[in-house]
Amino acid sequence: MSRQDDSADGPEQLALIRESVRKAKAPKAKPRTWRGAALAKELPVARVLVDKGVLHLDRYFEYAVPQELDAEAQPGVRVRVRFGAGSKNVRDGRREGGGLIDGFLVERVAEAEYQGPLAALAQVVSPEPVLDAELLGLTRAVADRYAGSLADVVQLAVPPRHARAEARTFPPAAEPPAAPEPGSWARYERGAELIGALASGGAPRAVWTALPGPEWAGEIALAVRAALASGRGALVVVPTVRLAARVDAALEAELGPGRHALLTADAGQQKRYAEWLAVRRGSVRAVVGTRAAMFAPVRDLGLVVVWDDGDAHHSDDHAPFPHVREVLELRAARERCAFLLGSLSCTVEAAQLVRSGWAGAVAAPRDEVRRAAPRVRTVGDQDLARDEAARAARLPSVAWDVAREALRSGPVLIQVPRRGYVPRLACQTCRAPARCRRCAGPLEAREASGALACGWCGREEGAWQCAECGGVRLRAQVVGARRTAEELGRAFPAVPVRTSGREQVLDTVSTAPALVVSTPGAEPVAEGGYAAALLLDGWAMLGRPDLRAGEEALRRWITASSLVRSQEAGGTVVIVAEPTLRPVQALVRWDPTGHALRELADRAELAFPPVSRMAAVSGTPRAVADFLRAVELPGDAEVLGPVPVPDTAPGGARRPGAPPPGEHWQRALVRVPPGSGTALAHALKQAQAARMARTRGGVEPVRVRVDPPDIG
DNA sequence: AGCACGCCGACT
DNA sequence: GTCGGCGTGCTC
């Protein structure tokens, strides 16, 4: 179909197209929308990403561009269009129905691919090209990576509009700062090299194992400054608002005021959009924020940084659940910029980046690590058995002694597992998990009565006996933060006890002696460092039936322990856990990278992620079976299961994304070797799209998730 | 998701 | 004949 020249009936070029299609059927159809309205002379067709759920995965819809919108209807702008079956009702010359909905103008083209008649753009909401070519490319790559829809990813990437913020004018960006000296980066092998490469416009990729202590935030700020010095922009993503504030302060100190933006979801809509616009318009060249900031439209990006990639906050909680580390990897590759993954600990994925050669390792020499880390002492089962005091007081005497001694010189941190995090009960003697006799689900102690019951089927267990060794005693009672605080308060009556947890998080504590009871992730920073830390109930953190249990436990211990003074300054950590366990040994030796490398080797042997790529397909048994039959998987794909999905998480809480109440779902895992991840995602997306298209004839939905988080 | 279209049975 | 059931398919 060719474009008509606009001579006699110029205003109606596209209407002619309509007529040629319609001629056979309807006598005449000239929609009111176009009557008298001229169309844009150049590129009169707009491709629009319509924001309308998952119904049409990644399809663009074409609209005619009226002349008066020609100038503003540029790629990337938000538009409003009529959409819906009602707009097809043109027989009597009326064009009604089909409400106005939002969308993004993706591109302008000369000719429509769509064979039918086009409707006109109703409105350009604002001329701000929020979804420009770069961001479109990134969001599409993320959607492809996760077998998700482009519209879903765009929703994560572009914050809601706020007109007042848009009307503001933004000052031009300040001149680049001078290149920094390496400073405390000199403590790391290849640290100075990294800063030098950033400052001179290079694009190094590094996995950085940070030394314990609070310096990491300043070190990130220094890396950002180096990237800015090269005339480029920089982006830092941290897991929590609290850490964002810390890096924010470090950036302020390094760059001075007004040189960077803080992008967090907790700011109000107006502020959030204003900051985002300041970045988009190039007024601000450095950004720190929480996970949504991973899409921040930084101009001429020179460096992306992700801090503590093991923190679960880095997984978005909206479909398709992209992970900050993965998205920033994509950005580093697409925008040819530097990539810095920093952590006190080390994930298997980070180890994999180094192992594969994609990134280089930046770490301190052993003796530097030993000097900076606290001394770590373990209390294992044998110690506990010999320790009658521990029985009575629920705290081993080593811990008492260390705490008493440390309280002379400063605060002591006590880390206790969060309630609800605590997993299944285990046999006192052989530590085998206690399982339900009927369904093999995890046994739990009922909160109110203390009675034993299955976390899956609810069956009560009156007379448990270990299936492995015949033992009849269970180890269980994890003491909650409040109870621990009370007991410690009685034991040290002269010392103030403070708690930091879910409901109230303390940011800092002073150098004065105090007992600080905290759940993981909520540990306050102590000025000058804690004199000691007690990591209680270590076994509970390790008992989770999760592939990541060891890595996660180590990460939490290291995070808490790194707030403690160095060994030289007398800092001590006591951990109540078996000294033979791998993560415990890694803590004692302060070797998170070694731990991750060993875990990685195990995963490779079992063909588990990240050495393979996995996707989960869940739904009713029939839906999963139908889906698996229809999907055209790559030849090297392997299907595991399906198996029933428990609708409660360990601990009894309804897990997010659980099947609708009353339905019992199944889940299959699909696994492919490295290199076939893209093909897998593509196949899943195709099958899902085909399914959506005829979701009417009683077709039940399936949920597809690439990189499922809870493989156990 | 809505909403219209279309191909079947009960009605004025 | 025609009104209206809901199963099917489309939305530029």
Q: What confidence tens digit (pLDDT) does each residue in A472-526 have?
A: 877 655 556 666 777 778 888 889 999 898 888 899 999 999 999 998 989 999 9
Does residue A23 fall inside a structural domain?
no
Same-domain pairing of A584 and A472: yes
pLDDT at A327: 98
Q: Which of A331, A348, A369 is the last residue of a domain?
A: A369
Nucleic strand C within 7 A of Cβ A55? yes
Nucleic strand B within 7 A of Cβ A231? no
Distance CA A697 to C1' C7 in A: 8
Same-domain pairing of A296 and A335: yes
Does residue A156 fall inside a structural domain?
no
Does residue A312 fall inside a structural domain?
yes
String of DSSP letters for A409-463? TS-EEEE-PPTTT----EETTT-PBPB-TTT-PBEEE-TTT--EEETTT--EESS
Residues 434-493 of A with CB under 7 A from strand C: none
For residue A101, report the phi and psi dihedrals to the nearest 5 degrees: -130, 165
> In the predicted model, what is the mean pLDDT of chain A?
85
Same-domain pairing of A273 and A335: yes
Nucleic strand B within 7 A of Cβ A55? yes
Same-domain pairing of A701 and A633: yes
Compute the C-alpha angle A265/A266/A268, nearest 5°.
Answer: 95
Q: Is A19 a residue whose pLDDT tops 60? A: no
Number of domains in chain A: 4
Place of tokens 């480029």: A232
CA atoms of A369 and A189, how far apart (whole Å): 12
CA atoms of A707 and A338, how far apart (whole Å): 24
Nucleic strand C within 7 A of Cβ A63? yes
CATH code of the domain containing A537: 3.40.50
Residue A446: band (very low, low, confident or very high) from pLDDT cuts 50, 70, 90: low
Regarding beta strands A572-576 and A452-454, do their DSSP bridges make them parallel or antiparallel, or are they unpaired?
unpaired
Same-domain pairing of A191 and A338: yes
Distance CA A81 to C1' C12 in A: 10
Same-domain pairing of A344 and A392: no
Same-domain pairing of A361 and A378: no
Question: How many residues does this entry show for chain A?
Answer: 712
The domain in which residue A684 lies consists of 613-706
Distance CA A21 to C1' B11 in A: 39
Does residue A153 fall inside a structural domain?
no
CATH code of the domain containing A220: 3.40.50.300
* Contact indicator for A692, A703 with CB cutoff of 8 Å: no
Same-domain pairing of A219 and A342: yes
CA distances from A289 to A266, A575, A651 (A): 11, 33, 32
Q: Which two tokens stand for residue A450?
A: 């203390």
Please state the separation of Cα A577 from the chain's center in Å: 29
Q: Which of A3-17, A612-626, A650-664 has the lowest mean pLDDT?
A: A3-17
CA atoms of A245 and A644, how far apart (whole Å): 42
The amino acid that residue A489 corresponds to is: G
* Contact indicator for A706, A145 with CB cutoff of 8 Å: yes
Same-domain pairing of A325 and A265: yes
Same-domain pairing of A89 and A207: no
Q: List chain C nucleotides near protein: any atom < 7 Å from a Cβ.
A: 7-12
pLDDT at A441: 67
Q: Which of A336, A353, A369 is the last residue of a domain?
A: A369
Nucleic strand C within 7 A of Cβ A60? yes
Same-domain pairing of A54 and A189: no
Q: What is the pLDDT of residues A550-601, one digit of tens each?
A: 999 999 999 999 999 999 999 999 998 889 999 999 999 999 999 999 999 9
Distance CA A83 to C1' C11 in A: 6
Helix (H) or strand (E) holding A642: strand A638-644
CA atoms of A610 and A639, how far apart (whole Å): 17
Q: Which of A549, A567, A602 is the last residue of a domain?
A: A602
* Residue A430 among known ligand-binding residues: yes
Regarding beta strands A443-445 and A286-289, do their DSSP bridges make them parallel or antiparallel, or are they unpaired?
unpaired
Per-residue burial over A518-538, b = 16 or more CB atoms within 10 Å of its CB, e = otherwise = bbbbbbbebeebbbbbbbbbb
* Residue A427 among known ligand-binding residues: yes
Does residue A137 fall inside a structural domain?
no
Neighbours of A4 (CB within 10 A): 15
Same-domain pairing of A434 and A569: yes
Q: What is the pLDDT of residues A77-93, one digit of tens each?
A: 999 999 876 544 443 33
Distance CA A28 to C1' B6 in A: 23
Residue A171 neighbours by CB under 8 Å, 6+ apart: A283
Q: For chain A, what percent of residues have pLDDT higher than 90?
A: 63
Q: Which nucleotide is nearest to A50 (CA to C1')?
A: C12
State the alpha helices, DSSP H only, in A11-77. 13-22
Nucleic strand C within 7 A of Cβ A64? yes
Nearest to A309 by CA among A212, A226, A210: A210
Does residue A16 fall inside a structural domain?
no
pLDDT at A564: 98
pLDDT at A501: 86
